[in-house]
Structure 1
Amino acid sequence: MILQKIIREKERELELMKRDRRSLCAALSVPGVSIIAEIKRASPSRGIIETSLEPAERLQAYEKGGASAISVVTDKKFFHGDAGMLRLLRPRTSLPILRKDFMIDPLQLYESFFLGADAVLLIASVLEQDRLEAMLEKARSIGLEALVEVHDEEELFRALDTTAEVLGINNRNLEDFSVDLGVTERLMEVLRSRTGRKRPLVVAESGVSSVEDARFLAECGVDGILVGSFLVESPRPQERLKEILEGVTAGGAGQDMRSHQQA
C-alpha cells in the first residue's frame, strides 16, 4: 500500500515536470513574425564576441525588447557555450528556451530537459534519417519540442518525411560558413508548391545583419526569425530588437504570405 502511494506520487511529480514546459510552437503561432533572440559567446565565423552584458542581463533586455523565445548556444569547444546557462536562465524568464547544440545522442535530450530547455535543435545534415526520427520521438516522449534544421531541398524533404512541427531554414552553410539569405526564399517556394498540405512552422536562421535582412526574411513568409550575432554584438540589444520587430511588422511584412500559406 505504501509503495503504491509512493509510485503514484512520483507519477504525479513527473507529470508536473512535463507540464512545466513553455511551447516554442505556441510562441511561433501568434500573428506576425516572432523573433527568437540568441545568447552566445562566440562562433567559428566571428570568434569571441565581446559584450558587456552577462547572459541574465541580455535575457532581460531581450524580454523587454519583445522576443518571443530565447535561443541559448551551449557548445563548449567551438562556441564557448555552457549548458549550465540553461539552468541559470530558466527561472529568470517565462519565454520558451531553445537549446542550440549539436545533438547526436538521446543522452543530450535528457540533459536538455533536466537543465531547463523547452526545445532542442536537431540538424538534419548531422543525423541520418533513422536517427533523426528517433531523436524527434525521444524528445517528444520526454516533453521537449524540436526545431529540425535544414539547409537545402534534400534536407527539407527529409524533414518533411518526419513528424517535425517546426523547421529551421539555416541560411548559413555549415561546411564553409558562407551565408545566403536566398536559401530561405528558395525553400519557402518549395513549401508553397506543396499545395493542399499543411506545412510545419518555419524559422529562418542565420544571416541577419540588418533590419532590412530581417524584413526580407519576413516577406518570404516565415513564422519566426532567429537572430544571433546582430543582437549579441549590439551594445543596446533591447533597442535593436525593437527596431527589428518594427521592421518586420511595418506594412504587415510577411503577414499576408503566411496567411495564404496556412490557409
Structure 2
Amino acid sequence: MNTSDAIAPAVESILDSAREREGGDERLSIEARSFPEAVAATEREDRVPVISEVKPTSPTTEGVREDDPVELAREMVAGGATALSVLTEPEHFGGSTETLERVREVVDVPVLRKDFILREDQFDVVEADLILLIARFVDDLEELVAAATDRGFQPLVEVHTAEELEEAIDAGADIVGINNRDLGKLEVDLATFERVAAKAPEDVLLIAESGISSGEDVRRMREAGADALLIGTAIMDGDVRENTREFTTT
C-alpha cells in the first residue's frame, strides 16, 4: 500500500471500514461475462463503450438517489450501457452485495463490483464479472490480481499515476482504469488520464474514470486513448436511460 502521500480523511474512513469488513467463507468460482468482448461489440455498433454506475451516494456528491437500483440498472442497459458498475461499499456509498446480486440477475451485460477490496477473502462475498482493485491501497497487487483471475473475475486495476500504471502492468493487469480523481485530495483533473494513458502498452484495455460530465469530456478521453468510460454522477443525475444514451452516442 502506497501511503507516502496524505489521504483525504473521507478516504481514510472508507479504508478503515474496509479493513474491518469480513470476507466470504467459501471460495467463489465465476463464469464471467467478457468485458473486452462487450467493448468490442459496442464499438462495432459505432457507439462509445460506457460503464454506467449505480451509485446511490458518495462522499463527493450531494444527496441520495433512492430509486430501486435494479430499475436504474435496467434503464441504463436500455440506454446502451456496455457494462454496469455497482457499489457494494455500504457505509459511505449506500451500496450492498445484495444490490449487486439483484442487478446481475436481471441484466445481460458485464457487472463490475466497485468497492475497496484489501484482502483475498473479500472477493468471496458476491459474484461479479469484473472486480475493482485500487493499486494505491493494496499491499500485494500481483497476488490479488492472480487470486481474482483464478476465481474467474476480470480484475480492473485502478491507477492514478504512471508509477501505479507500471505496477499494474507488472502485476498482470490487462484492464486498467485511470482515475482522474486524486484520492489523496479528492481533486479531479482530466489531464490525469491523458498523462498516464500515454505510458500504457497498446494491448491494455483502458478505462477513463471520474470527472466525465459532457460530450466534450467523452471526446477528449477517447482521443487520449480511452477504450471505455466509467461514468457515475453525470448519469445518475436525472434520467439514467437518456443520460446513458447521450454519452454512448456522443
With structure 2 as the length reference, what TM-score do the two structures score?
0.83
CA distance in 2: counterparts of 1:124 and 1:177, whole angstroms: 16
Q: CA RMSD in A?
A: 1.6
- CA contact under 8 A between 1:36 and 1:226: conserved in structure 2? yes
Amino acid corresponding to residue 164 of structure 1 in structure 2 = A
- The within-5 A match list for 1:210-249 is 210-234=214-238, 236-247=239-250
- Structure with greater Cα Rg: 1
- CA contact under 8 A between 1:87 and 1:116: conserved in structure 2? yes
CA distance in 1: counterparts of 2:242 and 2:94, whole angstroms: 26
- CA contact under 8 A between 2:52 and 2:230: conserved in structure 1? yes
- Count residues with an aligned counterpart: 219
- CA contact under 8 A between 1:38 and 1:70: conserved in structure 2? yes
C-alpha displacement of 1:19: 6.4
- CA contact under 8 A between 1:29 and 1:223: conserved in structure 2? no
C-alpha displacement of 1:159: 0.9
The counterpart of 1:45, out of the listed 52, 60, 66, is: 60
Amino acid corresponding to residue 243 of structure 1 in structure 2 = E
* Mean Cα deviation higher: 216-225 or 96-105: 216-225
- CA contact under 8 A between 2:80 and 2:244: conserved in structure 1? yes
Provide closer, same or farther for how the CA distance between residues 170 and 19 of structure 1 changes in structure 2, counting only shifts above 3 A.
Answer: closer
The counterpart of 1:147, out of the listed 149, 156, 165, is: 156
Tell me, yes or no, if structure 1 residue 117 matches structure 2 residue 128. Answer: yes
Task: Considering fraction of residues, name the structure with more helix.
Answer: 1
* Mean Cα deviation higher: 153-162 or 165-174: 153-162
CA distance in 1: counterparts of 2:65 and 2:42, whole angstroms: 34
Residue 194 of structure 2 corresponds to which residue in structure 1? 185
More RCO (CA 8 Å, sep 6+): 2
- CA contact under 8 A between 1:41 and 1:49: conserved in structure 2? yes
- Gap regions ≥5 residues in structure 1: 1-16, 192-196, 248-263
SS of aligned partner of 2:182: coil
CA distance in 1: counterparts of 2:94 and 2:38, whole angstroms: 27
* Mean Cα deviation higher: 153-162 or 142-151: 153-162
- The within-5 A match list for 1:7-46 is 18=29, 20-30=31-41, 32=43, 33-46=48-61
- CA contact under 8 A between 1:49 and 1:233: conserved in structure 2? no
SS of aligned partner of 1:190: coil
- Gap regions ≥5 residues in structure 2: 1-27
- CA contact under 8 A between 1:203 and 1:225: conserved in structure 2? yes
C-alpha displacement of 1:198: 4.1
Spell out, residue by residue over 1:105-162, the C-alpha distance to the aligned partner (whole angstroms, 9 max, x if none).
1111111xxx33111000000013xx11111111111111100000011111111112
